Structure 1
């Protein structure tokens, strides 16, 4: 397996499934009261340019749950905010910690850090990719419904970093994926084309959410305006109105379809209160699974526990 986790396309099916299977095992062991100490004496640095609730706390809880320690740094608290070269930051932090977990805007930031770091760099979110989140989402799908290969998985809304990582996951794990995005808000075209050339199952993109959701087994939604897009909020609200996951749209899916949302949710925008709190929502199980998949990721990339 690679030394860094920057994007899901860098891995094989076997490697991604090993991480997910290990996360399921760690979750089961925790529920049985087992204490994990695999990373005792190890330290990670959370280097966050974007604010976070779930990503920060789940990585911290994961590292503490493996016996390790965490140092958190926002851009305001580091020399990155004063223009220090990324290559200097990478080389210095490599002398202090065992892995660098980065949440930032540009994919070029995590790539440059990885180029110069002597320790693993883990992409906790960029504007282009959100690999750790999609791994936790897939963990939830597998936990609730088994492998995604025979399921219809649907993404509804913005073709954002989450959509891009779902597309890469579909190609690597070879499962069908359907997306519904407004015109002009589709996923990254280069990522889409590369994924289609790699996988054998269809990756379809529609503009009509009603057509996309028909007979869906798994439905994903996300906010319509991500961090850094606040100035586009009003226009996006207008463009995305028909993409709201409400009871009417959900009725087109299978009766036992599961609803995913990576949170935070804007209730009344991309998803209604009724659906988010409804019986088909597994959103809070999905949120918990972030911690378990982060354990598996940290364990592997720091200790090399997965063979």
Structure 2
């Protein structure tokens, strides 16, 4: 395939591009495990533009760039004048003159699209409110590592079915032939535009797409995926979300209800115990020691959450390499 150039949204990817990047990620991961660091981006300068906080995305891009011989530069919300004294277009043009690539993590999809339009260099979406493509690649790599194949698997996302992780997981899976089930209360089901894209992908690949509010529809799932009930920027909605989602918690009974040996997936962070400030606040306010997933499931041998976290780095490496080298 030609170079990927920018990666701003999952719906812009083809099946061939997804599978090629996954193959490259396998290769780069094996090389890293063998102690090899091919300098495929030697001398390139990478801007890491963060308007939202991060653990995995920031760490993964930083280590991936260093491993490949590039120089990452973190630019936090308070570090530059982007959005306050300087427009998106002007910022994009300035950064494009100085850097060879830009990662953006923030709220608005229009921002990452604008950076790609005006910067003249590859731009990668590290998360927006609509899409989270680097997470999708890590998820698919994890599934393929565990099962040995992708086409024909069934992934069931349980919880807030209209968030960015659910959107990216849905489109990425359907494009490569993985069946997708979204189980969420009606108020938190996918937006109409996402459903339209998903149905188009389903028709092309032959994978099935199903949205339900019935928790019993987990039956037959090879993987159960969940995410936090309250995303960044929605911190005032805990009471409402708990009421809506308390019956959608991923627990041992739900994992058993799949009727097969299913794996558990989560993009992290996860509220599965009381070892965080937020977890303690929720417990004191609502009496819940676990939210979207129980500690037993999170720590079980069927949980692949830390494989997913590591694979963020390997797939981000592949995405960046694909932006500069024809594959």
Residue 254 (structure 2) pairs with residue 232 (structure 1): no
Question: Does the 8 A contact of 1:75 with 1:81 survive in 2?
Answer: no
Query: The residue matched to 2:300 in structure 1 has which SS?
Result: coil
Match of 2:137 in 1: 135
Query: The residue matched to 1:148 in structure 2 has which SS?
Result: coil
1:69 Cα deviation from its structure 2 partner? 0.8
Q: 1:126 aligns with which of 125, 128, 131?
A: 128
Distance between the aligned counterparts of 1:161 and 1:128, measured in 2?
5
Match of 2:315 in 1: 293
1:210 Cα deviation from its structure 2 partner? 2.1
Match of 1:274 in 2: 296
Distance between the aligned counterparts of 2:261 and 2:40, measured in 1?
38
1:81 Cα deviation from its structure 2 partner? 4.7
Query: The residue matched to 2:11 in structure 1 has which SS?
Result: helix
For structure 1, the 5+ residue unaligned runs are none
Runs of 4+ with >4 A deviation = none
For structure 2, the 5+ residue unaligned runs are 273-289
Residue 210 (structure 2) pairs with residue 204 (structure 1): yes
Residue 251 (structure 2) pairs with residue 251 (structure 1): no
1:194 Cα deviation from its structure 2 partner? 2.1
More moved, 84-93 vs 183-192: 183-192
1:149 Cα deviation from its structure 2 partner? 1.5
Residue by residue over 1:20-39, the C-alpha shift from the partner in whole angstroms, topping out at 9 and shown as x without a partner, is 11001111111111122111
Question: Does the 8 A contact of 2:97 with 2:119 survive in 1?
Answer: no
Query: The residue matched to 2:186 in structure 1 has which SS?
Result: coil
Query: The residue matched to 2:178 in structure 1 has which SS?
Result: coil
1:255 Cα deviation from its structure 2 partner? 3.7
Query: The residue matched to 1:149 in structure 2 has which SS?
Result: coil
Distance between the aligned counterparts of 2:188 and 2:85, measured in 1?
32
Residue by residue over 1:241-286, the C-alpha shift from the partner in whole angstroms, topping out at 9 and shown as x without a partner, is 0110000111112442111101000111000110000011011111
Q: 2:19 aligns with which of 14, 17, 25?
A: 17
Q: 1:100 aligns with which of 96, 102, 113?
A: 102
Query: The residue matched to 1:150 in structure 2 has which SS?
Result: coil
Match of 1:78 in 2: 80
Question: Does the 8 A contact of 1:23 with 1:293 survive in 2?
Answer: yes
Match of 1:60 in 2: 62
Question: Does the 8 A contact of 2:221 with 2:260 survive in 1?
Answer: no
Residue 178 (structure 2) pairs with residue 175 (structure 1): yes
Residue by residue over 1:78-126, the C-alpha shift from the partner in whole angstroms, topping out at 9 and shown as x without a partner, is 1115241100111000111111000010111111111111101100000
Query: The residue matched to 2:168 in structure 1 has which SS?
Result: helix
Distance between the aligned counterparts of 2:313 and 2:176, measured in 1?
22
| Residues matched between the structures, number | 304
Question: Does the 8 A contact of 1:170 with 1:199 survive in 2?
Answer: no
More moved, 196-205 vs 265-274: 196-205
Query: The residue matched to 1:240 in structure 2 has which SS?
Result: helix
Distance between the aligned counterparts of 1:192 and 1:85, measured in 2?
33
Root-mean-square deviation (Å) = 1.2
Match of 1:265 in 2: 270
Question: Does the 8 A contact of 1:149 with 1:175 survive in 2?
Answer: yes
- What's the TM-score, normalizing by structure 1? 0.96
Distance between the aligned counterparts of 2:49 and 2:70, measured in 1?
17
Residue by residue over 1:123-152, the C-alpha shift from the partner in whole angstroms, topping out at 9 and shown as x without a partner, is 000000001101110010011112222111
Query: The residue matched to 1:253 in structure 2 has which SS?
Result: coil
Query: The residue matched to 2:75 in structure 1 has which SS?
Result: strand
Query: The residue matched to 1:25 in structure 2 has which SS?
Result: helix
1:195 Cα deviation from its structure 2 partner? 2.1
Question: Does the 8 A contact of 2:140 with 2:173 survive in 1?
Answer: no
